Every structure is written in C-alpha cells, then in structure tokens.
Amino acid sequence: MTTEHDHIVKAFDEDLKHVDTVIAEMGGLVEAQLAAAIEAMVQRDAEKAEKIISKDESVDALEKNLDRSIIKLLALRQPMAEDLRVLIAALKIGSAIERIGDYARNIAKRTLTLAQVPAIGPANTVARLGQHVIGMLKSVLDAYLKRDAEKAEDVRRSDREIDAMYTSLFRELSTYMMEDTRNITSCTHLMFAAKNIERVGDHIATIAECVIYLVRGHLPENRRPSDGPDVIPAMSSGLRH
Amino acid sequence: MTTEHDHIVKAFDEDLKHVDTVIAEMGGLVEAQLAAAIEAMVQRDAEKAEKIISKDESVDALEKNLDRSIIKLLALRQPMAEDLRVLIAALKIGSAIERIGDYARNIAKRTLTLAQVPAIGPANTVARLGQHVIGMLKSVLDAYLKRDAEKAEDVRRSDREIDAMYTSLFRELSTYMMEDTRNITSCTHLMFAAKNIERVGDHIATIAECVIYLVRGHLPENRRPSDGPDVIPAMSSGLRH
C-alpha cells in the first residue's frame, strides 16, 4: 500500500485529506446520532428524539458537500489507480454513512410513538444490539482512516453476530405480541427499530468492503447477502395455535 | 442538454452506451424480480420465491460489472463536465438498483414463511402497493435512458403516494394482529414486505434525483426525507385498550 507521502502532487494530498476529514466528520456525527437515538428509545424520551430528527439534515448536507468535492477532484485532478479508488470508495462510504443517519432518524421517529405506550422489556435487548452496531461503526471508520483492510475484514465478519442477535430478538418480540395484544404497538415499532439497526450493520459491512477495495484494489471474494439474516420461519405461531 | 452526437470522441460515446445498456439490463432484471416476488407472495408460492432468491446473484454480478466499467472509464477517458456527471449518476443508480434487487429477494424470503401460514386478505393490499412501485421503477428507468428530467420529477413526486398507501396498510395490518393473535406471524412478515416495497420507492426517488442531476447538473432543491413516511402513532392500541 502506498502512503500519502508517495504522491507527487502535494495539492492532491491535501484534497484527499479533506475528503477523509469530511468522512470522519460525517461518521462522528452519525455515530453520535445513532447513540442518541438508541438512548432516547430506551428512555422513551420524545424531546431527545425530536432533536435527532432535526439534526439529520446536517448529515445530508455533509454528504452533498462530500459528493461535490469528490466530483470536483475527479474532474480537476484526473486521478489514476489508487487515488481514483480512494475517491470512488469515499463516494460509496459517504452514501452508506448518510443511510445510517437515516436509520438513526427512523429509530428516533419510532421513539415518538414508543414514548406514548407502556415500556416493555425487549427495548433493552434492542439497545444492546444498537451498542454492538455502534462499536462496529467506530471500528470501520477507524479502519477507513487508517487504511486498515484487516480491521475492515474483522468488522465485516462481525456483521454475522448482528444477524444472529436480530433473529433471536425477532422471536422474543413475536412472543411478547402473542402473549398480550396490548404489546403489539410497542413490539412492532421495536421490531422495525431492530431491523433498522440490523440494516445499519449491513451498511457498515458495505463500508468495510469499500475499505478492503481501496487498500487492496479488489473487493473481497466471498459474497455477503446484503438483505439481512434469513427470515424467521413461522415457528412461534405454529407452536401456539 | 448535449446529445451523444456532440461528443468529439466517438469511442467514449460507445462506452457511455455500454453503461446505459448495463443499467437497462440490471433495471429490467430487477423489475422482473420485484414483479415475481410480489406474485409469489400473493400466491404463497415457495418454489417461485426460491427461484427469485437464487437469481439475485445475477443482479449483484451486473452491479460489480457496472462499477468496474465506470471506474475504468473514469481512469482511461478522464471525462469532464456532463460525461463525468453521467458516470457518477450511473454509479449511484447501479447501487440503487442493486438495493432494490435486495428488497425483492427479502420479500421472496418472507414468502417462504408466508407460504406456511394461512393466507390473509391484506396480502392483496401489499401487492397493490407493489404494482404501484413497479410502475414507478419502469418510469424512472425510462426517464434515465431518455435523459428526461421532467419525467424523473414526476416519479419523485409519486413517492409520496407510496408513503400514504404504506401508512394505511400499516394500520390495516395492526388491526388484523390485534383482532386475532394467529394473524401475527403473517401480518409481521407482510408489514416487513410492505416496508421493503416502501423502501424500494425511496430508492426509485434516489434514482430520479440522479437523473435530474445528470440532466440539469444539480440536484433538486427541495429536500426529500429518505427514511420513509412518518411513523404511525399508537392510535389503534389506544383505541382498543
């Protein structure tokens, strides 16, 4: 892997650093948004949720900014090989981070409803899933900034744990619903919140793949289905009726 | 808007045509996948669903192919202005189409479960939502191939109808669940299937924005929240308990 010092054109180094800075800023903001969204969900804090929703525009603005910078760089600097890969990867990473911001926003929107209905236990399991994904997001952003493909591989692998946690959570929530129909509203929104978190895991895996691509010049060979874990069969319904 | 005839480098014209061909092919395949997924869901046809799931790899392969072509073009042709915009838009459109393929696959996976539980009426409402979105997908692909920004604007606007249909469907499914807990499994999977379709609508709106960007050189001004309609409040639960 070449380092920034190998570059001949110094100005281009600065440009690439700027791209990294914007991605670090976007990543940090989205990480904070996601952490706050999960906290607000557990605390059933509608006020905090509203703040998260209104802040999502800053993420979108940063992504547009990033896109513009990258397109300008492509046009003006006509980069080749590794520099081109960095820019294409940054474009895709920016779009993945923006989507993660959308999921944080959606969890916050659901919290507005969850705050109106009685609290239920599985909210804490959803939050644990969230903590796990936030850890992955930190790691993948770090892997990007350090151009560390091995760390990215680790993150990509840990997406499987998320899938397993999500599947068990889905069962738990289904059981709660069947036991008491008054739980249906909260369980439904928690299911979607969990699904949002699981999708965040998918986007983190995509970012990890971009890091691997930009460092090694090719995508990882083994295919990762990007539509989440396999769907849970109708077991619980069959058991109960 | 300049046409292909204005280009000086004829070979580049051919390259751009190839990009359009791949996008048309991917789009056609994903449209067929989505239509089949919705048909299989209504018919509770697990065999058809399995076929859809296995075919998703072709979509992923086409996207990787498209990415590679675009990156090669960026490196070799060093395109400026409009050509650069076309390539960046194509990169984003390819990734949106691939995601739509993932949603079709996820609906098919849920059909494997739905086929095991009794049929319920709202599946037809989900299918109607699906038909609407398939129409939008056709239109946006057409708008891309014809570089028709106005048509893209129309598609982008119609995403709001999807949001309204989804919201009403969510209420219908919640009511079914509360009326009979035996409906919970099918309703949950239909809710997620509907959510998948609603997300497809979001990705179509993103494609529409890319078309507007590539034709006009800038994104539409008015912001569209990309995390779906506002979450439905806990009304039904409050009414019943």
Question: What are the per-10-residue average pLDDT scores of chain B (241 residues)?
Answer: 56 87 96 98 97 95 92 84 88 96 97 93 94 97 96 93 92 92 94 96 95 88 62 45 30
Report the C-alpha gap between A71 and B229 in whole angstroms. Answer: 31
DSSP line for chain A = ---GGG-S-HHHHHHHHHHHHHHHHHHHHHHHHHHHHHHHHHHT-HHHHHHHHHHHHHHHHHHHHHHHHHHHHHHHH---HHHHHHHHHHHHHHHHHHHHHHHHHHHHHHHHHHTTS---THHHHHHHHHHHHHHHHHHHHHHHHTT-HHHHHHHHHHHHHHHHHHHHHHHHHHHHHHH-GGGHHHHHHHHHHHHHHHHHHHHHHHHHHHHHHHHHSS--SS---SS-SPPPPSHHHHHH-
Q: What is the pLDDT of residue B228?
A: 62
Q: Which residues of A touch B240 (CB under 8 A)?
A: 181-182
pLDDT band at A240 (very low <50, low <70, confident <90, very high): very low
The alpha carbon dihedral of B104, B230, B202, A57 has a sign of: negative
Report the C-alpha gap between B201 and A5 in whole angstroms. Answer: 45
Task: Tell me if B185 and A174 make a contact (CB, 8 A cut-off).
Answer: yes
For residue B219, how many other CB atoms are within 10 A of its CB? 14
More confident residue, A232 or B197: B197
Structure-token match 């949950």, residue found: B188
Burial level of B230, CB count in 10 A (0-12/13-18/19+)? Answer: middle
Q: How far is B29 from chain A (nearest CA, A)?
A: 17
Give the one of B67, B113, B238 whose C-beta lies nearest to A233's C-beta.
B113
Q: Which residues of B touch A227 (CB under 8 A)?
A: 102-103, 105-106, 109
Of B217, B194, B192, B220, the residue nearest B206 (C-alpha): B220
Of A26, A35, A24, the residue nearest A197 (C-alpha): A35
Q: Write the CB contacts of A209 (distance below 8 Å, at least 6 apart in sequence).
A: A152, A156, A219, A220, A224
Q: How far is A151 from chain B (nearest CA, A)?
A: 23
- A58 to chain B, any CB pair closer than 8 A? The answer is no
Q: Which residues of B touch A116 (CB under 8 A)?
A: 233-234, 238
A8-21 pLDDT, tens per residue? 567 788 888 999 99
| pLDDT above 70 coverage of chain A, percent | 88
Q: What is the pLDDT of residue B83?
A: 85
Task: Tell me if B109 and A81 make a contact (CB, 8 A cut-off).
Answer: no
Residue of A nearest to B115 (CA): A234
Q: Which amino acid is at A90?
A: A
- B80 to chain A, any CB pair closer than 8 A? The answer is yes
Q: How far is B28 from chain A (nearest CA, A)?
A: 20
Task: Tell me if B91 and A88 make a contact (CB, 8 A cut-off).
Answer: yes
Task: Tell me if B231 and A112 make a contact (CB, 8 A cut-off).
Answer: yes
More confident residue, A151 or A225: A151
Task: Tell me if B109 and A230 make a contact (CB, 8 A cut-off).
Answer: yes
Q: What is the pLDDT of residue A11?
A: 79
Q: What is the pLDDT of residue B217?
A: 85
User: What is the Rg, in whole angstroms, of the alpha carbon atoms belonging to chain A?
Assistant: 20
- B239 to chain A, any CB pair closer than 8 A? The answer is no
Q: Which residues of B touch A182 (CB under 8 A)?
A: 237, 240-241
Q: Are A197 and A129 in contact (CB under 8 A)?
A: yes
Residue of B nearest to A191 (CA): B188
More confident residue, A213 or A79: A213
- A225 to chain B, any CB pair closer than 8 A? The answer is yes
- Which of the residue ranges A48-57, A62-71, B92-101 would you say has the lowest mean pLDDT? A62-71
Chain B segment 192-211 residues within 8 A of A by beta carbon are 192, 195
Over residues A97-125, mean pLDDT: 95
Q: Are B148 and B212 in contact (CB under 8 A)?
A: no
Report the C-alpha gap between B182 and B176 in whole angstroms. Answer: 9
Q: Are B158 and B136 in contact (CB under 8 A)?
A: yes
Q: 3-state class of B146 per DSSP?
A: coil
Backbone angles phi, psi at B225, to 5 degrees: -65, 130
Helix axes B81-114, A81-114, angle to 10 degrees: 50
Task: Tell me if B113 and A227 make a contact (CB, 8 A cut-off).
Answer: no
Q: Are B75 and B69 in contact (CB under 8 A)?
A: no
Residue of B nearest to A181 (CA): B178
CA distances to A5, A62, A215, A217, B33 from A146, rounded to whole Å, are 14, 21, 10, 16, 39
A82-96 pLDDT, tens per residue? 888 889 999 999 999
Q: Which amino acid is at A94?
A: G
- Which region holds residue A217: left if phi is over 0, alpha if psi is between -120 and 50, else beta? left
Q: What is the pLDDT of residue A9?
A: 63
Chain B segment 10-39 residues within 8 A of A by beta carbon are none
Q: What is the pLDDT of residue B241?
A: 30
Of B81, B74, B95, B93, the residue nearest B217 (C-alpha): B81
More confident residue, B215 or A237: B215
Task: Tell me if A80 and B75 make a contact (CB, 8 A cut-off).
Answer: yes
DSSP state, B5? G
Task: Tell me if B84 and A103 make a contact (CB, 8 A cut-off).
Answer: no
Q: Tokens in use for A101?
A: 């911001």
Q: Which residues of B touch A80 (CB under 8 A)?
A: 75
Q: Write the CB contacts of A229 (distance below 8 Å, at least 6 apart in sequence).
A: A163, A164, A166, A167, A198
Q: How far is B154 from chain A (nearest CA, A)?
A: 22
Residue of B nearest to A218 (CA): B68
Element (H, E) at B237: helix B235-240
More confident residue, B233 or A229: A229
A168-210 pLDDT, tens per residue? 999 999 999 999 999 999 999 999 999 999 999 999 999 999 9
DSSP line for B219-230 = --SS---SS-SP
Mean pLDDT for chain A overall: 88
